[in-house]
Amino acid sequence: MHPYIAKTLDTVQQRNHSEPIFLQAVSEVIKTLNPILEEHPEIEDLNLLERMCEPERQIIFRVVWRGDDGKVHTTRGFRIEFSSVLGPYKGGLRFQPVVNMGVMKFLGFEQVFKNSLTGLNIGGGKGGAEFEPYGKSDDEVMRFCQAFMSELYRHIGQQRDVPAGDMGVGAREIGYLFGQYKRLTNRYEMGVMTGKSVSWGGSLARIEATGYGVIYFTQEMLKLRGDSVEGKRVIVSGAGNVATYAMKKLTDLGAKVIACSDITGTLYHEDGIDVGVIKHLAEVERKHISAYCERHHDAVFHEGKKVWGVPCDMAFPCATQNELEGDDAKELVDNGLQLICEGANMPCTPEAIEVFREAGILYGPAKAANAGGVAVSALEMQQNAGLERWTFQQVDEELQRIMHRIFEQCADCANKYATPEDYMAGANIAGFLRVGQAMISHGLI
Ligand code: 2IT
């Protein structure tokens, strides 16, 4: 390891010792940067690595709201404005009880490199709150969103910081947040948020974009090996937007999705998962996937079980960080896995990635493979700024072009600086180079 990398890791470790998840994200990126440090001594001269590991601004705030139970709750809200070197801070809001500063910072850090890879003008940020929307009434969610925005509104703006959804934040929450922003600022600032409902400024294909993008990236990886997704047996973890639309695209392309999962367990359906039912459960009924078996009696639900034990050709972790560990990876490889592509942010642990690497499994890293969501968010901003409304096909074609470009950058950097098909190193290096060059142009700030 280059001594400058070791020194930076040490500094970041000391400064953030209570945030192991953030340290994991940082070390995964900077350990792959060895080859470019020789070629670019200015990285060390200008201390770019350490500067990149420190968010530009970290906002923590109190959110006070009254629940349906009549009780007053105090929740912690966050917005990490990580880097504005390529554009306004851009990244989602996550509402989940386990959210904390380390999680926010890891997601913000990943977002910087992901957004860089899109080639679009978006900086990196992330936010959220330790709030559980599941099982809450619409009214309660609305009151929480209004309370959350009562502080957040002073930090965001269409040229400043543009939040979107993430886990626990969908079109419903974005609507309540936007309504409160409009009330507080007395401005209909359409581009201040993305992931809006299509009826009032949202983009067609935004909801599909992350999942579809993951599969477009997968197609690119397979194409280089003269292969395709057709006829493959597939498992997907998660039952949210990313998983649902990854499953839909896979099914449309002739793959067979035999299992998916959520926090309650794994659903197995040998005939192929009926994505329409999963979508309805997630988006309309807001129910866990065990309810799927009421409609398909030949499907089986395994309570409390992870999906990784189901033998398959391809696996798509689309649920959450560190959901796939070293032992899961070994089991997948032993069962004949050929490809893994990440829909969630950092779903594979470092041990799991090492297992895949040693076995020569095709591995699509999240910051490249799941960048389609934020890319279409930027297209939503573009439509809002031009008072335009693109068709589904226009957005989808642009998404495919963007995913193709992302893949090419990853492949080129892998070939040039690492080894062919090392898309993890390729993504980190390509993402880093664009951010680094812009930082150098902006001087010491
Ligand atoms: O993880 C992600 O890339 C997102 N949650 C999407 C962020 C966005 O601004 O659309």
The closest-lying atom of ligand 1 relative to the alpha carbon of residue 114 is 3
Question: In testing the pocket of ligand 1, which one of 80, 111, 116, 376 has its CB within 8 Å of the most ligand atoms?
Answer: 111
10 Å CB burial of residue 103 (0-12, 13-18, 19+) is buried
CA 249 – CA 51 distance, rounded (Å): 39
The closest-lying atom of ligand 1 relative to the alpha carbon of residue 90 is 9
Bridge-based pairing of strands 256-262 and 233-237 is parallel
Distance 183 CA to ligand 1 centre (A): 25
User: What is the pLDDT at residue 286?
Assistant: 85
Which stretches of the chain drop beneath a pLDDT of 70?
Answer: none
| Ligand 1, atom 9, residue with closest C-alpha | 91
| Ligand 1, atom 4, residue with closest C-alpha | 92
Distance 16 CA to ligand 1 centre (A): 24
Distance 298 CA to ligand 1 centre (A): 36
Which residues have any ligand 1 atom within 6 Å of their CB? 90-92, 114, 164, 166, 194, 345, 373-374, 377
Domain ranges of the chain: 1-54, 55-189, 207-369
140, 153, 171, 151: which is closest to 73 by C-alpha?
A: 140
**What is the SS3 string spanning the chain?**
CCHHHHHHHHHHHHHCCCCHHHHHHHHHHHCCCHHHHHHCCHHHHCCHHHHHCCCCEEEEEEEEEECCCCCEEEEEEEEEEEECCCCCEEEEEEECCCCCHHHHHHHHHHHHHHHHHCCCCCCEEEEEECCCCCCCCHHHHHHHHHHHHHHHCCCCECCCEEEEECCCCCHHHHHHHHHHHHHHHCCCCHHHCCCCCHHHCCCCCHHHHHHHHHHHHHHHHHHHCCCCCCCCEEEEECCCHHHHHHHHHHHHCCCEEEEEEECCEEEECCCCCCHHHHHHHHHHHCCCHHHHHHHCCCCEEEECCCHHHCCCCEEEECCCCCCECHHHHHHHHHCCCCEEECCCCCCECHHHHHHHHHHCCEEECHHHHCCHHHHHHHHHHHHHHCCCCCCHHHHHHHHHHHHHHHHHHHHHHHHHHCCCCCHHHHHHHHHHHHHHHHHHHHCCC
First-last CA distance in the chain: 28
Cβ atoms of 290 and 305 within 8 Å: the answer is: no
Fold match between domain 55-189 and domain 207-369 = yes
The 10s digit of each residue's pLDDT in 275-327 is 999 999 988 888 999 999 999 999 999 999 999 999 999 999 999 999 999 99
Cβ atoms of 406 and 371 within 8 Å: the answer is: yes
The C-alpha angle with vertex 302 and arms to 266 and 361, in degrees rounded to 5, equals 45
Distance 275 CA to ligand 1 centre (A): 23
The one-letter amino acid code at 268 reads Y
User: What is the pLDDT at residue 123?
Assistant: 98
Distance 373 CA to ligand 1 centre (A): 6
Torsion of CA 367, 370, 375, 381, to 10 degrees: -110
User: What is the pLDDT at residue 190?
Assistant: 97
CATH code assigned to 55-189: 3.40.50.10860
Cβ atoms of 195 and 125 within 8 Å: the answer is: no
The 10s digit of each residue's pLDDT in 225-268 is 999 999 999 999 998 999 999 999 999 999 999 999 999 999 99
Phi-psi region of 221 (alpha: psi -120 to 50; beta: other; left: phi over 0): alpha
Residue numbers annotated as active site: 126
CA 122 – CA 377 distance, rounded (Å): 10
Instruction: Supply the Cα-derived Rg of the chain in whole angstroms.
Output: 21
The closest-lying atom of ligand 1 relative to the alpha carbon of residue 162 is 9
State residue 81 phi and psi, 5-degree precision: -95, 90
| Ligand 1, atom 3, residue with closest C-alpha | 374
Say which CATH class 207-369 falls into: alpha beta
Contacting residues for 237 by C-beta, under 8 A, at least 6 apart? 243, 260, 261, 306, 307, 308, 315, 316, 317, 318, 319, 323, 324, 344, 347
Question: In testing the pocket of ligand 1, which one of 95, 166, 383 has its CB within 8 Å of the most ligand atoms?
Answer: 166
Question: In testing the pocket of ligand 1, which one of 121, 210, 342, 399 has its CB within 8 Å of the most ligand atoms?
Answer: 210
| Ligand 1, atom 6, residue with closest C-alpha | 374
Distance 164 CA to ligand 1 centre (A): 6
Distance 91 CA to ligand 1 centre (A): 5
The arrangement of strands across the sheet holding 256-262 comes to 300-303, 265-268, 256-262, 233-237, 314-317, 339-341, 362-364
User: What is the pLDDT at residue 13?
Assistant: 97
CA 199 – CA 65 distance, rounded (Å): 28
Tokens 């959210």 label which residue? 99
The arrangement of strands across the sheet holding 161-165 comes to 57-66, 72-83, 124-129, 89-95, 161-165
The 10s digit of each residue's pLDDT in 331-354 is 999 999 999 999 999 999 999 999
Question: In testing the pocket of ligand 1, which one of 377, 380, 402, 406 has its CB within 8 Å of the most ligand atoms?
Answer: 377
